[in-house]
A and B are shown apart, each in its own frame.
Chain A
Amino acid sequence: MRNLLQVRMLRSVLASKFPPISRLSLRVPASQYSATASAIPAPNTQPEIHFNKIFINNEWHDAVSKKTFPTVNPSTAEVICQVAEGDKADVDKAVNAAKQAFRLGSPWRRMDASHRGLLLNRLADLIERDSAYLAALETLDNGKPYALSYSVDLSVVVKCLRYYAGWADKNHGKTIPIDGDYFCYTRHEPVGVCGQIIPWNFPLFMQASKLGPALATGNTVVMKVAEQTPLTALYVASLIKEAGFPEGVVNIVPGYGRTAGAAISSHMDIDKVAFTGSTEVGQLIQQAASRNLKKVTLELGGKSPNIILSDANLEDAVEQAHSAVFFNQGQVCCAGSRTYVQEDIYNEFVERSVERAKKRVVGDPFSLQTEQGPQVDEAQFKKVLGYISAGKRDGAKLMCGGGVAADRGYFIQPTIFGEVKDNMTIAREEIFGPVMQILKFKTLEEVIERGNDTQYGLAAAVFTRDIDKAHYISAALRAGTVWVNCYNVCGVQAPFGGYKASGNGREFGEYGLEAYTEVKTVTIKVPAKPTGS
C-alpha cells in the first residue's frame, strides 16, 4: 500500500468548506485530556538538509560508486540537493551490517523485548519533537500540503511507532497440548534481515509502517527509500541512532528500484522482502525473491470501488468520495477511483461533486489553505495527463479540470469524468492522480459484480443507511478493506492489504506482526504425562 492516511483527521481537515486553520487544529483530541494535541506550527519553507548519504551501521557513507542523484522539489521542478546513490555494492554493505547486528548473542538479539518497545517509543518521541521540521521537509521533497504533512502524516507516523512499540513484548508463542508424552511450545522469532522497499507517496509513514513491526519483532532492516523522496527517511535515520538502536539494526540505502531495489529483492542473505508500490514492480519482486525463496509481502495498486446507494446521506457521501480520490493529489493506492452511484441520485451526485472539486484549492503546498499540491515528479505528471487524454478519447464526459494547474511544477487540475464505462482505460487502470471517475449503476447485484470486476482488490466502500445492504455489500466485495459510510479510515490498529493483484499479506494491526515472525515449534520428550492435566 502506498498510502494510508490517518483519517479522522482527514475528515475534519478536508471537511466541506476548506479549512480555516482553527479547524485543522481542532482535529484529533476528543478532549483536552487526550494525550495528543496539534496546533499547526508555521512552516519553515526552506528546511535545511542535514543528511544526504547512505546510513549503514549508524554511520553515514558515500556510495561505493561515489555516484549521487538529484532530488527535486515538485512544486518548482528545482533540484533540492544531491543524494548518495546506493547500488548493489552498498546494499551488500548494508546487508552485512544487518546480518552482523542479527547474529546470535548480539546486543539486539539479547535485548529484552520490552526494551525494543522502549526504543521504538523513544523514536516516536524524537519524531514528535522534530515534527514541524520533518513535515516541512516532507512537503519540500514530496509536494504534499504542509498542513497535512504535519497533522496527518507526522501524527500517524508517531502513532504507528507507538502502536508497534506496545507489541514488542506481546508477540506471544503458545504452549500446545500435543498428543503423546511431549511438551510442545512455539517461539515467535524474528525472521532475520528484512529488505524493505518503500514508495514516495507517504515517505515517512511508509517508513514507520515498515520499521514498526520489523523492529518490534526483533528483525534487522535494510531499507531502500524512493529516489523521489529520500530526505525525511534519512533524517529519521539520524533519530534512530539518537534513540539508541544498536548499529546495523536499521540501514537505509537511497537509490533506484532497478539497481538498489533489485539488489535487495534478489539478495541471498536477505530473509524477507516487503515492498509497497506498483503491481508491475511487485511482480518483479516476487520473481526475484524466488532465488532464495525469501518471504515476500506486497502492498500494491488498486482501483477501488466506492459505492453510493441512493439512500445514503448525499452531502456526506459527496464529501467522502471527493476526499477518497483527491487526497494526497490522488497518489493513494486505496484511492476510491471508481465511484459507483445509484442511478436515481447519479445526476445530483455528479453535479455536487463537480461543485466540490472546483472549490479545491490547488497551489503552494506550504500555504495552509492549500488542499492539493503538485504530483510527485514529471513522470507521474505526464502519466496522469496521459490518462486524462485517454478518458476523453474513450468518450467519458469531462465535467471539470483536465489540464495543468500552474506554469511551473507538476500541478494538475482536479478532474472529474462522468458517464464513465467499465471498459474504459480510466475505469480499469490505476491513475494515481487527481482524477475522479463516476459510474452509474442500478442494482446491488450489478454493482457488486462490477465492483469486483478488476484485477485489484485493495479497498472498497459503500455509503448507505440500510444495515442489510451495508452488511451484504461489505461481505460480497473482494477487497482487503471495506469502509461503510466512511473512506480512508486506516487506523494503525487495523490490518491493511490486498486481495488478488493488490498484494500479498497484511500490514498493520496484530496481523502485521505475522510477516515479521518465524514460528518455531519446540517439542521436548517428557517422562510421562502427569495425570489430571
Chain B
Amino acid sequence: MSAIEVEKNRVGETSSACKGNKHNMTTTPGDTQNHDPNPSAAPPGLPIPVSDLEVKYTKIFINNEWHDSSCGRKIPVYNPATGEKICEVEEGDEEDVDKAVKAAKEAFQLGSVWRRMDASDRGRLLNKLADLVERDQLILATMETIDSGKLFLIAYFVDLMAAIKTLRYYGGWSDKIQGRTIPVDGEYFTFTRHEPVGVCGQIIPWNFPLLMFIWKIAPALCCGNTVVIKPAEQTPLTALHMAALMKEAGFPPGVVNVVPGYGSTAGAAIASHMYIDKVAFTGSTEVGKLIKEAAGKSNLKRVTLELGGKNPNIIFADADLDHAVEQAHHGLFFNQGQCCLAGSRIFVEETIYDEFVRKSVERAKRRVLGNPFIPGVDQGPQIDKKQFDKILELIESGRKEGAKLECGGSPWGDKGLFIQPTVFSDVTDEMRIAKEEIFGPVQQIMKFKTLDEVIKRANSTHYGLVAGVFTQNINKALTIASSLQAGTVWVNCYNAMSSQCPFGGFKMSGNGREMGEYGLQEYTEIKTVTIKIPQKNS
C-alpha cells in the first residue's frame, strides 16, 4: 500500500470500518478502507475467520454449570468496530461471586477430587485444554476480534498462540513444583511442601481478554488452586467460551468459576471477599490501589497486581536506525496502543533525533486502519467510548502543552471508535502525554544527550513495568539494562514476551511477577514441616 492510498482512505473513503452484525461480523467485501478490501484476495494459507459466529455462552459459569445472574441484570456487549451490540451477558454481582466462591471452596476442600489428583494429571488437563483451544482457534480469534476490535490475524497468531503456549508451559510445571529438604540445626528433619494458596480471585482486563484469562488460570491451576475469575465487562465472550472448554477438558466442578460483571460490583466483591485467599488483578494502577486496600481491609488476602506503565524506549545514535524505528513503532502502536507495556516515551539521542522522527512519522502514516478482520489492516478501533474520549483528551493536552503534532491527532472514519495513528515530537518530560498512560495510538518522541541523563529521565516516573534500549554498544546495553527501574528490559527488541519469562512491575506498575517459574510463587504457600528425629546424620 502507498501513502497516497492511505491519504485517500483517510479523506475520501467514508464507508464504514466494519459492517458486521451479530451473525456475520467478519468480512464483507468492500466494507473497509481503500486498499484491497476483498478478503478473498487474502494471501493463501491465512486463517479465515468464522463467518457466522454463534455466541453460545452468555451466562455465569459456576460448578461447571451455567447460571443466570442473581440480580437479573445483563451486560450489553458491543463490537467496537461498528458500535453494534453483539449480545447480552448475565451480569454477575456480589451474590454471584458468593456462589462462585462457595463452589471454589468446595472444590478445594481436603480430600476433594481436585486436591487428591496427581500433580501430573493437573498438567495433563492443562495440556488437554491447550489442545481444545487449538481446535477452536478460529472461533476464539474471531470472537476476540468482534468483542475487542483487535486485528483478527493478531488475535489468531499472537493472542491465541501465546495462550496455547502458556497452557502447555504451565502444564509442564505442575509436577515440577518442588519443595525442599533442609539441613536444619538440631535433631530434626525439615522439609517444605509447596501447597496451593486456595481460592484465587482473578480480575482481568479487556485489552488481551483471552490471553489474560490464560495467564491467570494456567499458573493457578498448575499449582492446584481453585479460581473465581471476572472477565472485563467489555470483553466477556472468549472467557465464557473458555469456561466451556475447561468443562470439556475435564476439570472438576468448582475448580474454575467465571463471573462476568463490572469492577465496581463483582470486582469489588472479589477483592474484599473473606473466603478468597488471593487476588490477582491486571488493569489500571488506580484500580490496583483499590484492590490492595480492599484486600487489606478484608482478610489480608495475598495480592498480585499487574498495572500500568509509561515505558521508556531508548534509542542511541549507534543503533540500527530502521530497525529501531520499526520496533519503536510496534512498541507503541501494537494492539491500538492498548498495552500496559507500550513504549510510550521514546527517548532518542539528539544526533539522530530528526531523522528518527521523520522516519517514525512516515511509518505511522503508512498504518492502515479499518475492519480488523481484513488482512492488511494494521489498526482496529479502541475498545470503548470512554477510552476513545480519554485518548482524544490527552492528544488535545499534548497540543496545548506545546508538543509538536507530527501526524494524526483525530478520530478516523464515521463509524466505530477509530483514532488516527498519532505522533508527537518535541515532547518534554513534564507534559501530561509524557507522564500519563494514554493507552492509545499516540507516540511521544523525546530528545536526550547523555547516557546518565536518559537513565535519570527514564526512571523519573512512578511506573516501572518495561523498558527498551537500542544500541550496538554492549556496554551501553548492559549499563541501561541494569540501571532502569523496570520489570523487563528489552535490548534491540520490544514486546518480546514469552511464557518462560517473568513479567511484572517495579514501583507502581505492580506487585509480583507473572509467567515463568517466578509466576508459580504467587500461587504457592510454603509449609515448613519439622519432625523430631532420634539422631541426626549428614
Contacts and interface: CB of A to CB of B under 8 A. Distances in A.
B124 A35 contact: yes
Given A34-B117, A467-B531, A524 B474 contact: yes
Contacts of A163: 120, 175
Centre residue among A33, A121, A169, A183 by max chain B CB count within 10 A: A33
B482 A33 contact: no
B479 A530 contact: yes
Interface in B136-184: 165, 168-169, 171-176, 178
B350 to A, nearest CB: 21
Interface in A392-435: none
Contacts of A34: 117-118, 121, 124
Contact of A35 (B113, B125, B178): B125
Given A33-B117, A162-B123, A166-B172, A114 B500 contact: yes
A121 B128 CA distance: 11
B533 A472 contact: yes
A32 B169 CA distance: 24
Given A166-B176, A167-B172, A31 B517 contact: no
Contacts of A114: 165, 168-169, 499-500
A118 interface: yes
Contacts of B537: 475-476
Contacts of B173: 166, 170
B121 A117 contact: no
B535 interface: yes
A35 B121 contact: yes
Contacts of B189: 471, 475
Contact of A510 (B120, B178, B479): B178
Contacts of A183: 478, 482
Given A30-B117, A526-B479, A471 B517 contact: no
A121 B517 contact: no
A121 B127 contact: yes
A208 B114 CA distance: 29
Interface string A173-198: 00000000001000000000000000
A151 to B, nearest CB: 16
B257 to A, nearest CB: 16
Interface string B474-493: 11001100110000000000
Nearest to A532: B483
B116 interface: yes
Nearest to A528: B479
Interface string B499-538: 1100000000000000001000000000000010111110
Name B's interface SS.
Answer: helix
Interface residues of B, number: 42
Interface string A493-531: 100000000000000001000000000000010111010
A35 B178 CA distance: 21
Contacts of B483: 530
A493 B124 contact: no
Contacts of A292: none
B170 to A, nearest CB: 9
A162 B169 CA distance: 12
B12 interface: no
B251 interface: yes
B118 A30 contact: yes
A166 B116 CA distance: 21
A472 B118 contact: no
Counting contact residues on chain A (CB < 8 A from B), the size range is 35 or more
Given A121-B127, A468-B533, A31 B479 contact: no
A448 B263 CA distance: 64
Interface string A22-35: 00000001111111
Contacts of B125: 33, 35
B252 interface: yes
Given A170-B500, A170-B517, A526 B117 contact: no
B128 A510 contact: no
A63 B172 CA distance: 39
Contacts of B116: 30-31
B13 to A, nearest CB: 41
B172 A117 contact: yes
Contacts of A493: 119-120, 175-176
B250 interface: yes
A168 B175 CA distance: 14
A17 interface: no
B467 to A, nearest CB: 14
Nearest to A182: B478
Contact of B168 (A32, A121, A467, A528): A121
Nearest to A29: B121
Given A30-B116, A35-B124, A472-B535, A526 B251 contact: no
B65 to A, nearest CB: 16
A259 to B, nearest CB: 39
A32 to B, nearest CB: 8
B250 A33 contact: yes
A159 interface: yes
Contacts of B475: 526-527
A82 interface: no
A9 to B, nearest CB: 12
Contacts of A159: 120
A132 interface: no
Nearest to B537: A475
A185 to B, nearest CB: 11
A33 B474 CA distance: 52
Interface in A458-495: 467-468, 471-472, 475-476, 493
A127 B224 CA distance: 28
Contact of B121 (A36, A121, A165, A510): A36
A30 B479 CA distance: 53
Contacts of B114: 33
A250 B479 CA distance: 43
A172 interface: yes
A528 B451 CA distance: 13
A530 B124 CA distance: 45
A46 interface: no
A9 B86 CA distance: 51
Contacts of A162: 120, 123-124, 127
B117 A471 contact: no
Contacts of B176: 166-167, 170, 493, 510
A533 interface: yes
Nearest to A470: B533
Interface in B446-479: 474-475, 478-479
B178 to A, nearest CB: 7
A476 B174 CA distance: 32
Given A467-B531, A472-B535, A527-B479, A169 B121 contact: no
Contacts of B500: 113-114, 169-170
Centre residue among B119, B127, B172 by max chain A CB count within 10 A: B172
B123 A166 contact: yes
Contacts of B128: 35
A294 B251 CA distance: 46
Contacts of A30: 113, 116-118
14 contacts: A31-B252, A33-B114, A35-B127, A114-B500, A117-B168, A166-B171, A170-B172, A170-B500, A471-B189, A472-B534, A493-B176, A524-B474, A526-B479, A527-B475
Interface of B: 113-114, 116-121, 123-125, 127-128, 165, 168-169, 171-176, 178, 189, 250-252, 474-475, 478-479, 482-483, 499-500, 517, 531, 533-537
Instruction: Give the 8 A-B CB pairs with smallest separation, nearest first.
Output: A166-B172, A35-B124, A471-B533, A31-B113, A468-B534, A527-B475, A33-B252, A530-B482
